[in-house]
Structure formats: structure tokens, C-alpha cells
Structure 1
Amino acid sequence: MVVVLENLTESTLTELLAALIQIDSTNPSLIAGGVGEAPIAQFVEDWLTRRGIEVELDQAAAGRPSVVARVRGQGGGYTLLLNAHLDTVGTANMPDALTPRIQDGRMYGRGSYDMKSGLAACMLALLDAQSANLRGDVILTAVADEEYASIGTSSVLRRVSADAAIVTEPTSLKLCVAHKGFTWHQIKTFGVAAHGSRPDLGSDAVAQMGRVLSKLEALQTELECRPAHPLLGHASVHASTIAGGQELSSYPAECTLNLERRTLPGEAAEAVSAEWEGILAELSNSPDFKAEHQLLLSRSAFSVPGDAPIVQILEVQAAQVLGHLPEQIGLSFWMDSALIAGAGIPTVIFGPHGGGAHSADEWVDLESVEQCRAILSRVVRAFCG
């Protein structure tokens, strides 16, 4: 049976999640003409304000607001930060993407899994905190732009601090204590443009890039031989895009390779860049090889000790709700948790179960969202009380 939700009162978690899904929050940095976060930020602000929760908007850029909400404690306790993102990827090839529907205990719709379910759980946990007589504060940062450049979390961290944080990305109710980072690089090789009939005058920049690609393959093999992270496995590198030349009858003067290196905790962007500088220096021993390297973007890998207080408290409280200790895991993709941890806030990632992130068939298990909300509320009382 399929249930399409309409005329929502937002009084239950299911209705709140459905209301969030109905609001288009496509990231405009990903999809030209995307609506952005302003409408959903306004909804979250209004929903919390009507319930007596202190709220302000943080504008990371024009039209790109994040919500910062706080339930203040009586003093003398620890502050906990709950984090979720407002933006989604696009809805191409996803019919009725913004029409939430329920089937077999699952809610379908864009953002249901990634990650408006985590946001709904945080909003209701904040509501629960109002009557918990806490000593410490509870903060919710519902942020813009996680799916692209994370300008939302970067901005709110300039005005918010906490003793610990939970990022509610979906983890199937497991405790994520590590994830990979990445660096983006651009390498250009240079030749000499000439008519294709004059090899005596021309130099082939595309052929020179072939030497770089050979080194890239060798580096991947080397990375697989290095010690693996216990939760994340090995680092990796791959060629992402390549372009060069202008027509069949000319020697190409330039070739551009963009590549991605996925990193492990402890691997600094500077060291990865030095890795590529060394490769190019070695190739430059050949007099006809000319190249340059640029680091385009870097995001650090994330890890938190498994015995950190926030991890231990979350583990104990989750076990009370789930009936078993949740598994500690690592994930291969990057999240805003790395920025929060980089600001000196011990962080763990924990969220509901589902599937179809960034796909045309996105869903979340509703029971797991309810469990996530209950666990967050218990952690708030245990950590901030």
C-alpha cells in the first residue's frame, strides 16, 4: 500500500519529515537554477520559533542561509551540537521527487535519506530538550551547502562552539567514527603546437600526460600496499577528467588532467601535494617533459577515538533503545563532520537507515528515524544534564 501525505500538521515526526521533503532545497551550486536553502531554512526557523526555541539565521552567502537554534541550559553543563544539512542534490529522472509517500514502512522522496530525516530527528530532539531541565546547552546547526563546498558549516563554526557534536547523516543506526577525506589536483603538461606533418617542430602534450597517467596507476598500486586503516581500508587515487588538443592535424600544446586522491586520517594535503610534486620532478628529468601542478581543494579525513566520551555516551544510549550495542564503522565518503572535528569539537556521526542517496529511488526507514530521535534525546539528557 502506498500512502501520499497531504494537508500536514507537522505534529508527528512522520509529518514533519514529509513537510521537509515537500520543500525544494536543491543546491544551486550543483544544479543551475536550484532553489537553494532559503525556503527550507525559513520553514525550520518558523517551526522552531513557534515552539519557543531560540533561532537565528547565518548567511554564509547571499541566499544561502543556515539555521542556528539553541535550547539554553541552567548553567554548569556541557554543550552538545546537533548537525544536519538543508540542501539536496537535484531531482532529474525522479518523478514526484517532492511528493512524500509511504510504502512498507519507508518514506520516499528527495532528501528523505540524505538527510532531512536526520534533520527532523534533530528538530524533535531539540523540542524534547526544552523539558529536560538541562544544565548545558543544546545547539542545532541546520546548514547550507553540504553537498558542494560546505560553506554553511564553515560559516556557523565561526560563531558556534560546543563540547561535542553529533552529525546526523544516515548510518543505519551505527556509530561512524571515521571517514575518508579528499584532495583535488590539476596537472598540466605542455608541448609545442605544430602542424601534424612536422614532428620536427611539434611536441605532444597529450603524450606527455600519458607518462603522468602511468605514474598515477603506479601510485594506486603503491597505496594498496601501504598499511590499511582498520575501518576505512586503503587510500586511493583516480583520474577524473582529461582534456587536450584542438584538432586531428595538430600537435597539442597543452593537456589538463584533473584527479582526485582519497585520503586517510593522518594524511595531510601538503604531503599529498608533495607526493605529486615528486612524481613530476622525476618525470622532468626527461628534457621534453614540462608540467605544472595545482592543489584545487582539500578536505581532511575524519576520525574520533572509539572511547571518546561522546562516542561512549551515544553507544550506551543507543543500546538502551535498540537492545544491542551499535557497531562502530568507518565510511568512504566525506562529510561536514571533518570540519566540526577540525574546529576542536569531538564528533561522531549517527543517523537513520535507508538507501538511494543521490539516486532516483531515495527512501528512509521510518522506524529508524523514530529510534534516532529517541536516541538523540537520551544523549542530550545524558551529556548536557
Structure 2
Amino acid sequence: MTGAADVAEVADLTSRMVAIDSVNPDLVPGAAGESEMAAFVSDRLRDAGLEVMVLEPVPGRPSVVGIARGRGGGRSLMLNAHLDTVGVAGMTDPHTPVVDGDRLYGRGAYDPKGSLAACMLAAARCRADDLRGDVIVAAVADEEYASLGTRTVLEHVRADYAIVAEQTGLGQVCVAHKGFAWMKVTTRGRAAHGSRADLGVDAIAHMGHVLTELGDLGERLSDRRHPLLGPATVHASLIAGGQELSSYPAGCTLELERRTLPGESRARVEDELRQLVDRCRLRLPDFEATVETSLWRTPFESSAESPIVAAVRRAAEARTGTRPEPFGKAGWMDSALLADAGTPAVVFGPGGDGAHALVEWVDLRDVAACADIYHEVARAICR
């Protein structure tokens, strides 16, 4: 392992970014967004000698791409981390970074500004390595909501391999995560005065049958398991219907979330829900319903033997003395978008705690280790 990242440098860089409010405005209307963070990151990457471009498909939602350009003929590596954070309601001084021993506290310290600092420091060190391949930092907007940033970056830049710098605690390397579908079922009844059962059709009562079928589907999904991720799941998230107490409800809408496993296609998941509704239609007179998908995100899986996974595990073992074990995370990440674009990816980052919580911190020694590990992986992949 060449060199070693300085913990004081890591603390300073991460602190400067924690001090910048980059709450995602799609999560918190009117929030700051990524502009100030993007300006800070782009300036630091330019100062380090990287080629920088700022991509802003939506005003106020920029992403930054910094490239430590190789001399040519080598494989490229993308280090992907996001600029945005979740909200800060209930936190005390969320953008005042506090260092206590090896811990840095503040919103975004763990998710993922420490990881982003490690990516930036690693790429800067690659400038002196005379590598053949490019090392690319993708500091992306909107990961916490709709992944606008990574989707935009992939329209302009591709890499042979990628590390998504989310939190794994150094001792593990994430090679799989679930996908999800946000879906909607709308039942249609017939409005009528509450005294006229002969005229009304109750859309809410009909939705009750859908909910019963949904519970049965959940039971069946519990038998559909992945060795690292456990079972596929489905749950009812939001429901609304009716217009007033004295009327039969003309409509009811159920929004649900289906968490998917590698190998489950969008077509399969949508057909599953349509069949569920069809069973209700066969049983109930006057049953009418529609089904739609509002958002689909594919699951992710990478072979534990792939070159990028192997390179991360070797570099981590050389730096820490322990080879990280492959594992799966339930939550969705931008790694799926990279894999869908043909870029083999792995998820690896520092330890800490409090992602999306009221108290959030990152382990600064882990961030320094990640900077060294990312650097060593780049040297192995891009040589």
C-alpha cells in the first residue's frame, strides 16, 4: 500500500463539506440543494489538477465530474459519491461539524461526505501515478430521491469499473442490494347517497379485498429468498378514498412498495399485481380497478469474484489487515444504475452511524483508510 492519507487532512476536508447545507429540495421543499457543494467540490478537484465538468440538467441541481486523466490504453475507474443529504429537522446545529476523537459529527458526515472526501483525495493522488486509465470522481446530485445526478453523469461519462462510496464499515463489501417498485392500485365504485345501497358501489370496500390479496402475496414472497438479501417484500404505504360520510365512495387509491430481488424483472412484478387485481375482479360484481407503476429501480448484484470486488478486497486487506466479507444491503443505491449501464460496480465505504438520524457521525480513521484503499484500487485497475 503506497503512502497514507492524513487524518487531519481528512477531518478538514470532510468538515468543510459538512458545513455546507446540501439538503435535497425534493425531500424538503425549499431546501438548499447541491449548488454550493458542487462549487466547493469542483474548485477542490480543479486545484488538484483534475479535468472538471459540471452537469446541471435541472437548475440548482448540479453534479460534478472530475477526471484524473491517464496517458491512454488503460481501464477506467469511477468513484461515485453523492452531494445531497436528507433533511435536518430535530437536529441541533446540523451543519456545524464537531470532531470528538476519531468521530466527526454533523449532517452528511456519514452519508456520505466522508466517503466523498476519500474519493477526492484518492483521485488527487492518482495524478502523480502515471496511470494509463482515467480515474473519475462522480459527485452526484439527488441520490436521496430520484438519482438525477448519476443518471445524468452516465449520459456523458462511462467507466470500466466503479466504486459507489456508501457506508459499509470497512469490514464488508456490498455486492448486492434490493430494487423496488412504487405502484398504485385505484378501485372505482359508484357514488350514491348513503341510504341507497341499491345504487352505490363501495370503492373502499373493494380495496379491502385488494389489501387481503396483498397480505397473501406478502406471505408467498417470504419464501422467495436471496442468500445475501433475504426475502422479497411488499407493503401498503398510502391509502385514500371517499368524498364524505353520507356517500358511497366513488374511488379509492392504494400506493404500495414492492422490494425486489436480483432476477425479478419489472414485467414479472407488474404481472404479479395485475393477477392479484384479476382475482378480486372474478370474485366481486361491479369490481373495477386499474394498476400502474410510478417508479421502478432495478436490484443490484455483482459477483464476489469480479475484478472490482477482488481489487477492493485485496486493497482493504493490505490497508487494514482484514479482508472484507461480501454482504447485501436492503436499501437501494446508485450502484444499480451503474450496473444497468454496463459498469461492474461494488459498494464500499467507511464506518460510522446515524444515516438519516438525528445524530450522525463518521469514523475519520476509516475515511483516511478509504482514501488509501480507493487509491490502491485505482492503481490496480487503471495501471
TM above 0.5: yes
Contact 2:203 2:251 in 1 (8 A): yes
2:3 paired residue number: none
**TM-score, normalised relative to structure 1:** 0.96
SS of alignment partner, residue 295 of structure 1:
strand
State yes or no: 1:261 paired with 2:258.
yes
User: What pairs up with 1:132-147 in 2 under 5 angstroms?
Assistant: 132-147=129-144
2:370 paired residue number: 372
Shift of 1:276: 0.7
Q: 1:29 to 1:239 in 2, by over 3 A?
A: same
1:4 paired residue number: none
Structure 1 residue ranges (4+ consecutive) displaced by more than 6 angstroms after TM superposition: none
1:194 paired residue number: 192
Residue number among 216, 222, 231 corresponding to 2:228 in the alignment? 231
Q: Any idea what the Cα deviations from partners look like across 1:128-161, whole Å, max 9, x if unmatched?
A: 1011111111001000000001011001101111
SS of alignment partner, residue 186 of structure 1:
strand
Contact 1:352 1:365 in 2 (8 A): yes
State yes or no: 1:113 paired with 2:110.
yes
2:69, 2:314 → 1: CA distance? 24
1:216 paired residue number: 214
1:68, 1:59 → 2: CA distance? 11
Partner amino acid, structure 1, of 2:368: E
Name the Cα RMSD after superposition.
1.1
Contact 2:49 2:68 in 1 (8 A): no
2:338 paired residue number: 340
Q: Any idea what the Cα deviations from partners look like across 1:239-289, whole Å, max 9, x if unmatched?
A: 000001122211111000000000000111111001111111121112221
2:61 paired residue number: 64
2:67, 2:325 → 1: CA distance? 30
State yes or no: 1:329 paired with 2:327.
yes
SS of alignment partner, residue 58 of structure 2:
coil
1:30 paired residue number: 27
2:292 paired residue number: 294
2:351, 2:280 → 1: CA distance? 48
Residue number among 316, 319, 334 corresponding to 2:317 in the alignment? 319
Percent of paired sites with the same residue: 53
2:380 paired residue number: 382
2:356 paired residue number: 358
1:49 paired residue number: 46
Shift of 1:53: 1.5
1:39 paired residue number: 36
1:170 paired residue number: 167
1:270, 1:363 → 2: CA distance? 40
1:60, 1:114 → 2: CA distance? 24
State yes or no: 1:159 paired with 2:160.
no
Partner amino acid, structure 1, of 2:205: A
Contact 1:240 1:257 in 2 (8 A): yes
2:4 paired residue number: none
SS of alignment partner, residue 75 of structure 1:
coil
1:23, 1:131 → 2: CA distance? 29
2:280, 2:8 → 1: CA distance? 64
Structure 2, unpaired ranges of 5+: 1-6
Shift of 1:11: 7.5
Residue number among 117, 125, 128 corresponding to 2:125 in the alignment? 128
Contact 2:221 2:233 in 1 (8 A): yes
2:244, 2:375 → 1: CA distance? 63
SS of alignment partner, residue 12 of structure 1:
helix
Contact 1:82 1:138 in 2 (8 A): yes
Structure 1, unpaired ranges of 5+: 1-9
1:90 paired residue number: 87
Shift of 1:196: 1.1
2:37, 2:221 → 1: CA distance? 42
Partner amino acid, structure 2, of 1:251: Y
Partner amino acid, structure 1, of 2:104: M
Contact 1:13 1:121 in 2 (8 A): yes
Contact 1:185 1:297 in 2 (8 A): yes
**TM-score, normalised relative to structure 2:** 0.96
Partner amino acid, structure 2, of 1:378: E
Contact 2:180 2:297 in 1 (8 A): yes
User: What pairs up with 1:262-281 in 2 under 5 angstroms?
Assistant: 262-281=259-278
SS of alignment partner, residue 231 of structure 2:
coil
2:281 paired residue number: 284
Shift of 1:219: 0.3
